Structure 1
Amino acid sequence: MPEDVSPPPPPYVAPSYPAPYVPPRRRSAWFYIGTIGGSFAVIALVLTGIIWGTTRSSGWSPFGSDEIAVIDVTGMILTADKIDAQLRAYADDDSVKAIILHIDSPGGAASPSQEIYHEIERLRQEKHTKIVASVDSVGASGAYYIASACDRVYANQASVVGSIGVVMEWTNYGDLMRWAKLKSVDIHAGELKTAGDPSRDMTPKEQAYFQSLVDNMYSQFVHDVAVGRHTTEDKIKPLATGQVWTGQQALPLGLIDKEGGLRVALMDTAKEVGISGEPTVVSPAKEERGLLSMLLSGGEDLFPNPGKLLEHAPGFYFLWK
């Protein structure tokens, strides 16, 4: 008979049963408190970082560190509102230990220059705010007027400072009107009411009248510079010829206190107000004006209105030209 070759029986497999149910471990209330608190802490850190980055440019600090504010005075000085507001904001900030005016300007209108001068003077006297001027390339006329009110004036050797003087100017378009066969007509009361009419030449009396105004502003300029520089008008007047000097020339004349740029002014000022090491610098946020904002403003910046020339009244300037 043939041999039995049937397969061996399969190996024994033990029956499987479902694992017993184990209820999840209940978390304590502290776990949820910690989770929620941690989430709020992360959000707070993110918001703090955003606020810190924003306030570094705006000048306000919630952390009370010792800082020095740097305010730029650049270009023509035509209004005092912006600079005065920045000065007051930093003077009221306890974390700001001193203010540096970083000047690069030929001056500008007489009244705004004088207004900034007096605001610096007021803050120094009433709030004991230390305010220093650092002249970059140019600090002339109205810009020097402002600088002279500060505790100290710094300028590079090749900086241009001075130009103590007053100029009155306007555009006379009388010849153009005559060429176009146009006449200016006005009815007025008061002999000097139309003095400075740009459609005609001045009379000798009008010339003397305007010269008296310029002379009076000039004497104010000389007086205020003398007060700001802690000297006498007799010492300032020989320098008040309208001319400028380099920083190297201005130092022995007493128009500046030390040669050096912004870095020198910054480190010297930090030391004087008790800040050791590298000071924290804050500055006002920059205003960015794009093409769209210019167009929305009426396009005056891009396309000046020729008609504005006819509205140009005589102006008094502390300006180096």
Structure 2
Amino acid sequence: MPLPDQPDDWTEPGAHAVSDRVHRIPLPLPLDSLAAVNVYVIEDPEGLVLIDSGWARPETEKALAKALSGLGYGLGDISQILVTHAHWDHYTQALALRDSLGSRVRIGRGERHSIEGLDLTRSPHPRQSAQLRACGAGELADRVDAWPVTPEEWAMPFGPPDAWLDDGEQVQLADRRLSVVATPGHTRGHVVFGDPAAGLLFAGDHVLPHITPSLGFECVPERSPLRSFQQSLRLVRELPDAFLLPAHGRVTASVHTRVDELLAHHEERLEAVLREVRAGAATALAVAQELPWTRRLRRLDDLPDQHRMLAVLEIDAHLEVLAEVGVVSWVRIEGVRHFAARG
């Protein structure tokens, strides 16, 4: 199957054909860092199936309805929504559609920890704030604690799905079968959906074509999200190659090609982190300050606070892996983890 024709700008509104009866609909996001999220629509005789759903906002619902109308459908034709993970740009519109239309919502069972653990009466990111302090980034943690919870966040639909999805489960549609594959790392309950017969992988944020996903950014993260992410990448690499249908970015011809790039990137990053520890950088913050960030090779202090937070936490994840394999050790001094190279 050839790569489908795509607009030059992947965020261009509308329904863009990916495969037979499969369409990509980019929906707008209220974020500076990401302009849109891809929602995939599968035409099925028993009703439309969405993979991911967008951020619950009137603008999202309007854009989705307009794109579906171009295919001859309406929102009421959505029968079920399969969600890759519980981040708001993937999950919350699904819950809004369930409330208004009765669409069935399913998500990976591993997301239960963070879905049940969300408490907006506390700091928006209490776990990340505590991690930042352990990374030596106390001033950044103070600013994170001061981030307000907006009225929109208070009103955001959130809660459990209609059913949980388990690793290895087969979602049987009228004339298509989707395989559920657990891919923890970006979040502990992230799943991807494979359509082997059509040669497609609905990859969510697990495999993105142009950026590397954040690791463990959730209410209840696991101890070593990078280790899980690497293992999940290798697992997907062992599957037959397929078209990559990402949550952000263009459809590309090969999952394997991008997985190889992501694995290589993190191996290089691990080497760079170890090199900085050997040079004397003792905390995750100190290491992060020595490394370049983004494709523009920016310094940590030049990033906005949210990106700076994710960068420091990513380095902490790399240090955790280096500690697990025994090439660094660490001690906690006044609540901060200090690392040193072994040997």
Scaled by the length of structure 1, the TM-score of the pair is 0.34
- Between the two structures, name the one with larger relative contact order (CA 8 Å, sep ≥ 6): 1
- Higher radius of gyration, 1 or 2: 1
